[in-house]
A and B are shown apart, each in its own frame.
Chain A
Amino acid sequence: MHAMTVFYTIIQQLVNGLILGSFYSLVALGYSMVYGIIKLLNFAHGDIYMVGAFVGFGALGIFGNALGIGWLGITVALVISMVLVGFLGIVIHRIAYQPLLNKNAPRMSLLITAVGVSFTLFNAVMVMTSGEYKAFTTSLGYDGISIGPINITYTQIIMVVATAVLMLGLYWFINRTMYGKAMRAIALDQDACRLMGINVTKTISLTFFVGSALAAAAGVMAGVYYGSIHFYMGFIIGLKAFTAAVIGGIGSIPGAMLGGLILGLLETAGTQLPFVGSAWKDVFTFGILILLLVTKPTGILGKSEIERM
């Protein structure tokens, strides 16, 4: 009997880890894409996720009466949030980053600008929400499939499926469309791209759009899943998504997906360890990050490159 309990716990934690990992993956993708294309660590990315959650929350508030707060309403809110936050990504790129890229400013200035953007976003939301938690109310409930004591809700299943759909869509976009090809080309050689007639600035903006939209999707889903959102929710997940991106190999799209899932599973496993627990779980994650950066900074799927600043 005891062995069975352990087995059930493991399965249940696997499910939890998968969900957490899905969120991490979606956020990590944006990190990795932007990094791959302009070598910028977009510190504000976690806050974009947070803004996404709030925009989704607002959209659900507006359309919730007409569409209900079930799946239809949530899907509409999700799409609205993805589009709006995607544009926010473009605005941030054009206002904060592109002028510095034009000037060929030192990388440190870019990094600090990103910190400034992050500061701006989270303080803006803090002022607007008076720093309060907002209850993300939906009518999804906890129905699901039960196998023995394991309970997997439909919400959980749909989240994982939605993440998979978004990722497949991204994969198709990057590998099969002209825009995706342009992005990959810019990551390799910007100057050559200019000579070939690719609009580099526009393509970078597009990258910001896609990355931010994915983060927004993760934000809305996290809001739905956890049932509450607040202005500080992006900070920690930003750090963790970066960790996920590094695990998978920063700049690599499949790497970010893989890294997110691995981190989600590792973290849920970590909380089960007697000496880690939930109080130390963030320390555990950062410990992994530091260990990884020291031993294998290129990650699992990353290309090794020797580069100095």
Chain B
Amino acid sequence: MVYSVGFKDRVLETINGKKTRAFFLSLLIIIVVLLPLGVNNYVEEVMTNTFFYIILALGLNIVIGYAGLVDLGYAAFFAVGAYTTGILMRYGLNFWLTIPIAVIFCVIAGIIIGGPTLRLRSDYLAIVTLGFGEITRITARNLKITGGASGLVGIQRPTIFGHKLYQITDFYYTFFILVILAIIVSLRIYHSRLGRAWQYIREDEDAAEAMGIDPVKTKLYAYMIGAAFGGVAGAFFAVKMTAISPETFAFTQSAMILLAVILGGMGKIPGAILGAVFLVFFPEIFREIGQMRMLLFGILLVIIMVFRPQGLWPERKS
């Protein structure tokens, strides 16, 4: 090699250095904040959609990535959040007040689904979560209060400090703030006592149990927190779309969020974000191929798993 010894290391050090990272991160944030000034509604819409999936991916990342649990019915939590907000607002409740209620309902749903099943092996869990997702969708379709098959329409737009959120730019910033909050919460949890317990359980459940970590309780927390993320995202989804229907929360939706987490690499926040970005951008860029893109997604998922079972950008194990 013509480079001096350690050249590669020095380059890597510069790239991975704290200062460089902080610089690029702030640059990214500035670009995202200023973006609505220079682009049309379409780009803003796509970006808002991306933010939305980032929140969901980060939520599911807690369940799958941090705690190592399978969840194939994540859309159910997001549905519970969206329907709770939609229904309560119909009864005249203020949007901001419906958020905590939506979160509580989602957490309860997380407990209902997780409580009895977390003792089971993880592949059983996959089926139960899948079944739960279907139950939620069918229930929403059959109940009167959820508007049956046509769903809820005409959900009011929320106001904040007298400003009504109705333009796409409003939602762009709202969802951007939510993404920042979701990242902060994810980071804080990851480095907390609970986060460490999850990683421990994921790596070796028996050893974790021997060290005094209650696996069922700890796993249940993962479900509850993941569900809460879904609930918040769902509540905001309801007011952004102003209409929700049961088919929005079909298995495909759960599979897409799962794909975002897996694509990026389980357990890693930048990975989940990248996965979500890819997930939204891919179909937008390849609009012409239409339905083929879902087929490509399936094939892609298999290829990624076969060649990189830990995801594209997995968490580095020390």
- List residues of chain A with CB under 8 Å of any chain B CB: 39-41, 43, 95-96, 99-100, 103, 105-113, 115-121, 123-124, 126-127, 131, 235-236, 239, 242-243, 246, 279-280, 282-283, 286-287, 289-290, 293-294, 297, 307-309
Contact = CB atoms under 8 A, between A and B. Distances in A.
A117 B135 contact: no
Contacts of B135: 282-283, 286-287
25 contacts: A41-B123, A108-B68, A108-B122, A109-B310, A111-B123, A111-B126, A112-B258, A113-B301, A115-B255, A116-B298, A116-B305, A117-B302, A120-B295, A120-B299, A123-B294, A131-B291, A246-B124, A280-B142, A282-B134, A283-B139, A290-B116, A290-B131, A290-B132, A293-B116, A293-B120
A106 B205 CA distance: 14
Given A108-B70, A115-B72, A127-B295, A239 B131 contact: yes
Nearest to B113: A290
Given A95-B302, A110-B305, A283-B138, 10 more contacts: A95-B306, A113-B305, A115-B255, A116-B299, A120-B301, A123-B297, A127-B295, A286-B131, A289-B128, A309-B122
B309 A116 contact: no
Contact of A107 (B64, B123, B297): B123
Interface string B193-211: 0000000000001100000
B142 A115 contact: no
A124 B295 contact: yes
Interface in B47-89: 64, 68, 70, 72
Closest 6 A/B residue pairs (Cβ): A116-B301, A119-B298, A120-B298, A109-B309, A286-B131, A123-B295
A290 B72 CA distance: 15
B70 A119 contact: no
B27 interface: no
Contacts of B126: 41, 43, 111
Given A107-B122, A120-B302, A127 B292 contact: yes
Contacts of A40: 123
Interface residues of B, number: 43
Task: Determine the main DSSP class of A at the interface with B.
Answer: helix
Nearest to A305: B121
Contacts of B300: 116
B134 A115 contact: no
Contacts of B281: none
B297 A119 contact: yes
A113 B70 CA distance: 13
B251 A235 contact: yes
Nearest to A250: B124
Given A105-B309, A112-B305, A290-B116, A297 B142 contact: no
Given A96-B302, A100-B305, A116-B302, A289 B127 contact: yes
A43 B294 CA distance: 17
Given A119-B255, A123-B295, A239 B130 contact: yes
Contact of A308 (B64, B206, B301, B306): B206
B117 A293 contact: yes
A308 B121 contact: yes
B178 interface: no
Nearest to A113: B305
A175 to B, nearest CB: 27
B260 interface: no
A282 B138 contact: yes
Contacts of A99: 306
B244 interface: no
Contact of A290 (B117, B121, B297, B302): B117
Contacts of B298: 116-121, 123-124
Contact of B301 (A115, A242, A246, A289): A115
B106 interface: no
Contacts of A107: 122-123
B257 interface: no
A178 B180 CA distance: 61
A107 B295 CA distance: 24
A146 to B, nearest CB: 35
A96 B306 contact: yes
B262 interface: yes
B306 A293 contact: no
A161 B233 CA distance: 52
B40 to A, nearest CB: 31
A43 B301 CA distance: 14
A189 B64 CA distance: 30
Contacts of A280: 138, 142
A111 B205 contact: no
A266 to B, nearest CB: 15
A123 B291 contact: yes
A119 B258 CA distance: 12
Contacts of B122: 107-108, 111, 309
A230 B300 CA distance: 24
A96 B120 CA distance: 26
A294 B117 contact: yes
A301 B210 CA distance: 32
Nearest to A43: B126
Contacts of B120: 293, 297
A126 B116 contact: no
A108, A113, A235 pick with most chain B CB within 10 angstroms? A108
Contact of A111 (B70, B291, B306): B70
Given A119-B298, A123-B291, A289 B131 contact: yes
A96, A116, A118, A294 pick with most chain B CB within 10 angstroms? A116
